[in-house]
Chains A and B, each alone.
Chain A
Amino acid sequence: DAKTTQPTSMDCAEGRAANLPCNHSTISGNEYVYWYRQIHSQGPQYIIHGLKNNETNEMASLIITEDRKSSTLILPHATLRDTAVYYCIVRGPGGTSYGKLTFGQGTILTVHP
């Protein structure tokens, strides 16, 4: 699975959009980009995933660049409850064919009042 690079931490004001970047320059054509978040002492929560088209659901939007080497998770109106560690994961059929998710260090997003 491709390696991902995320900033260690980011801040965002409550009510503003939070834009979390992720670099995955070694992504291959059949690998998906997944985003999860983990609030302290809870299990990871699935947010969104995509292959090459931009995706939107009730939680967030995922923008994937045309060359697929990077993506951005957008929380359109951040709230204090969005403070968490956000993980960008790339997963495909090679190697970890049993579906293992490999979590890196993630981005600590802090939403301020």
Chain B
Amino acid sequence: DGGITQSPKYLFRKEGQNVTLSCEQNLNHDAMYWYRQDPGQGLRLIYYSQIVNDFQKGDIAEGYSVSREKKESFPLTVTSAQKNPTAFYLCASSIPPGARSRNQPQHFGDGTRLSIL
């Protein structure tokens, strides 16, 4: 079945350490997104990519980095510069929003919960 796979499900980070969250999709979607969700709150966009080898900052990109070397993969690195990284991280993908495809829904993975040791 097609879908989005995020790993690991739980991740712990030590102070000063960078960690990378994996996101893989086999839906043949060009667009991919990373969101952060804090307890009791909605989703906030970190980074997005509409095509391979291209990505853009979202609303809260500071302390994060991404790469998009393959269509299927959009890993997120939480760097030591992110001072409050404890959150639930969600990856999504979709047909890219455009003049004729803006109504396409985003599909989400099951998330990675990151905590600080």
Which of A43, A87, A98, A103 sits near B50, CB closer than 8 Å? A98
Give the one of B6, B90, B96, B105 with max A CB within 10 A. Answer: B105
Q: Is B64 engaged at the interface, CB distance under 8 Å to the other chain?
A: no
A103-B42, A105-B42 are known contacts. Are A41 and B96 too (CB-CB below 8 A)?
no
Q: Which of A44, A49, A91, A93 contacts B90 (CB 8 A)?
A: A44
What mask results when residues 89 to 111 of chain B are scored 1 for a CB within 8 Å of chain A, else 0? 01110101101001101111111
> Does A46 lie within 8 Å of B90, measured CB to CB?
no
Contact of A93 among B45, B91, B102, B111 (CB under 8 A): B102
Are the CB atoms of A41 and B111 closer together than 8 Å? Answer: yes
Q: Chain B residues near A9: list those with CB within 8 A.
A: none
Which secondary structure dominates chain B's binding surface? strand
Chain B min CB distance to A59 (Å):
12
Indicate if the CB atoms of B108 and A44 lie closer than 8 Å: yes
Contact A42 B103 (CB under 8 A): no
Specify the chain A residue showing the minimal Cβ separation from B59. Answer: A100
Q: Judging by beta carbons under 8 Å apart, are B109 and A43 in contact?
A: yes
Give the chain A neighbours of B4 by CB distance below 8 A: 43
Q: Is the CB of B109 within 8 A of A34?
A: no
- Contact indicator A98/B43 (Cβ below 8 Å): no
Taken together as a complex, chains A and B put the C-alpha atoms of A45 and B109 apart, in Å, by 9
Q: Chain A's nearest CB lies how many Å from the CB of B41?
A: 8
5 A-B pairs closest in CB distance = A43-B108, A103-B42, A99-B97, A46-B105, A103-B43
